[in-house]
Amino acid sequence: MTHQNPAASDPLAIDGGAPVIDRPLNRYKGAAAIGEQEKQAVMEVLESQSLFRYYGPNLLSKVAHFEQEFARFVGARHAAAASNGTAALRMGLAALGVGPGDEVIVPAVTFIASVGAIVASRARPVFAEVDETMQLDPADLPKRLTKRTKAIMPVHLNGVAVDMDPVLDFARSHGLKVIEDAAQSCGSRYKGKAVGTLGDVGCFSFQLEKNITSGEGGVLVTDDDELFRRAVIYSDQGGQFWTSHAGVRDTVGGQPVIGENLRMNEIAGAILGCQLAKLNEILNRIERNTTIVREGVETIPGLQVGPRNPDRDRHALGVLFYLPTAEQADAVAAALRAEGVPAGKVYGGQPVYAAPQILNQWTITRGCPFDCPSYFPEPIQYHMGMCPRSEDLLARGVGISVGPFYEEEDLDGIIAGVEKVARHLL
Ligand SMILES: Cc1ncc(COP(=O)(O)O)c(C=O)c1O
pLDDT at site 1: 46
* Cβ within 8 Å of residue 118, ≥6 positions away: 93, 98, 104, 106, 124, 125, 153, 369
Report in angstroms the alpha-carbon separations of 141 from 65, 92, 96, 112, 131.
38, 21, 20, 20, 12
Mean pLDDT of 373-383: 96
pLDDT beyond 80 at 2: no
pLDDT at site 8: 66
Query: Nearest Cα to 416, choosing from 408, 230, 386?
Result: 408
Nearest CA owner, ligand 1 atom 7 = 85
Distance 212 CA to ligand 1 centre (A): 13
Structure confidence by residue, pLDDT tens digits, 195-238: 999 999 999 999 999 999 999 999 999 999 999 999 999 999 99
pLDDT beyond 80 at 62: yes
pLDDT beyond 90 at 306: no
Mean pLDDT of 174-199: 98
Structure confidence by residue, pLDDT tens digits, 82-137: 999 999 999 999 999 999 999 999 999 999 999 999 999 999 999 999 999 999 99
Peptide bond into 369 cis (omega under 30): yes
Does the CB atom of residue 268 touch ligand 1 within 6 A?
no
pLDDT at site 6: 74
**Which ligand 1 atom lies nearest to the CA of residue 89?**
4
Does the CB atom of residue 154 touch ligand 1 within 6 A?
no
Substitution site in 111, 211, 262 for ligand 1 pocket (most atoms within 8 Å of beta carbon): 111
Distance 3 CA to ligand 1 centre (A): 35
pLDDT at site 67: 98
Strand partners, 199: none
pLDDT at site 4: 55
* Greater pLDDT, 244 or 206: 206
State percent of the chain over pLDDT 70. Answer: 99
Stretch among 23-32, 182-191, 302-311, 313-322 having the lowest mean pLDDT: 302-311
Query: Nearest Cα to 204, choosing from 285, 127, 279, 150?
Result: 279
Structure confidence by residue, pLDDT tens digits, 253-265: 999 999 999 999 9
What H or E segment, with its residue span, contains residue 398?
strand 397-401
Strand pairing category for 241-243 and 149-152: unpaired
**Which ligand 1 atom lies nearest to the CA of residue 110?**
1
Coil, strand or helix: which one is 151? strand
Q: Phi then psi for 219, rounded to 5 degrees?
A: -155, 150
CA–CA dist 193, 233 (Å, integer): 28
pLDDT category, 391, cuts 50, 70, 90? very high
**Mean pLDDT across the chain, nearest whole number?**
96
DSSP secondary structure code for residue 216 in this structure: S
Please count the other Cβ atoms lying within 10 Å of the Cβ belonging to residue 47: 10
**Which ligand 1 atom lies nearest to the CA of residue 206?**
10
Q: Rg (Cα) of the chain, in Å, rounded? A: 23
Nearest CA owner, ligand 1 atom 1 = 111
Distance 318 CA to ligand 1 centre (A): 18
Nearest CA owner, ligand 1 atom 10 = 85
**Which ligand 1 atom lies nearest to the CA of residue 86?**
11
CA–CA dist 263, 291 (Å, integer): 37
The distance from CA 376 to its chain's CA centroid, rounded to whole angstroms, is 29
Does the CB atom of residue 107 touch ligand 1 within 6 A?
no
Full set of structural domains in the chain with CATH: 36-277 (3.40.640.10)
Provide the b/e sequence for 362-378 (b: ≥16 CB within 10 Å). eeeeeebbbeeeebbee
